[in-house]
């Protein structure tokens, strides 16, 4: 299975990626993990990215694209992969399509997790994080259930006005890739509502239709 996950922040892509990658026995590849691995190892690409980050600049698409392409040459992707957080725009999607076409391993599906903006704001703004261990906690909790019961706080990027801006950026930059993959004929859309297991089951059912 060669798959990308798309959807707005707060749709649960990271959570679903873990379960789907396990179900299909394929690596879960996130851009965050790729960046951290390259920076930690001091690779040429990592050093290029660090130079931009040290100047307070965004890492350009060209560096991100090269990091992802390098990761997709590793042996563990022989039976497929799940991309989470990439591509983030149509230019990246086109680069990925061309790279996979060269390797004769095109994407089989782009799975969209669909959820209304007001539900995302409600979901994320109610989230709290542990000051001690950094673990997220259920809405309404006052103490962390993952460590010694430390206090919880609301992260800056979980405040309503920040979430609203993140959604605006998503609509401007990332949402167009949904149209891109629809035109490619590989877009599958499921509602990102219900329990984690219910959403996973819907995803697997949708993907099973590819067989």
- Residue 122 a catalytic site member: no
Question: Does residue 59 sit in helix, strand or coil?
Answer: coil
Annotation says 128 is catalytic: no
To the query of whether residue 127 is one of the catalytic residues in this protein, the response is yes
b or e along 165-186 (b: 16 or more beta carbons within 10 Å of the residue's beta carbon)? ebbeebeeebbebbebbeeeeb
* Spatial contact of 152 and 144, defined as CB atoms under 8 Å apart: yes
Our CA angle for 80, 31, 47, nearest 5°, is 120
Q: Match 């903006």 to its residue by tokens.
A: 117
Q: Let me know: does 19 contact 200? Beta carbons within 8 Å.
A: yes
Given 88, 97, 122, 159, the catalytic residue: 88
Rounded alpha-carbon distances, angstroms, from residue 210 to 2, 3, 111, 185, 186: 11, 11, 12, 11, 9
At residue 82, the 3 state secondary structure works out as strand
The yes-or-no answer on residue 131 being catalytic is no
55 in active site: no
Catalytic residue (one of 143, 155, 165, 182): 155
Distances from the Cα of 182 to the Cαs of 9, 26, 52, 58, in angstroms? 20, 24, 33, 28
Candidate list 2, 13, 123, 128, residue with the active-site label:
13
Strands 136-137 and 128-130: antiparallel
Positions marked active-site: 13, 88, 127, 155, 166
């Amino acid at each position: 299975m060669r798959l990308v996950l798309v959807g707005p922040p707060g749709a649960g892509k990271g959570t679903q990626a873990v379960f789907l990658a396990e179900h299909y026995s394929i690596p879960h590849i996130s851009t965050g993990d790729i960046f951290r691995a390259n920076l930690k190892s001091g690779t040429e690409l990592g050093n290029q990215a660090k130079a931009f980050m040290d100047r307070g600049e965004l890492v350009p698409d060209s560096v991100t694209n090269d990091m992802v392409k390098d990761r997709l040459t590793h042996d563990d992707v022989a039976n497929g992969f799940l991309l989470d957080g990439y591509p983030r725009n149509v230019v990246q999607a086109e680069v990925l399509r061309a790279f996979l076409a060269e390797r004769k391993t095109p994407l089989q599906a782009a799975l969209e997790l669909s959820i209304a903006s007001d539900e995302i704001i409600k979901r994320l703004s109610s989230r709290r994080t542990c000051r001690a261990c950094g673990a997220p906690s259920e809405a309404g909790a006052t103490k962390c259930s993952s460590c010694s019961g430390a206090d919880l706080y609301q992260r800056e990027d979980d405040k309503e006005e920040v979430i609203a801006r993140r959604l605006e950026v998503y609509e401007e930059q990332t949402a167009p890739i949904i149209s891109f993959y629809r035109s490619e004929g590989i877009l599958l859309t499921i509602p990102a509502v219900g329990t984690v297991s219910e959403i996973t089951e819907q995803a697997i059912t949708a993907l099973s239709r590819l067989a």
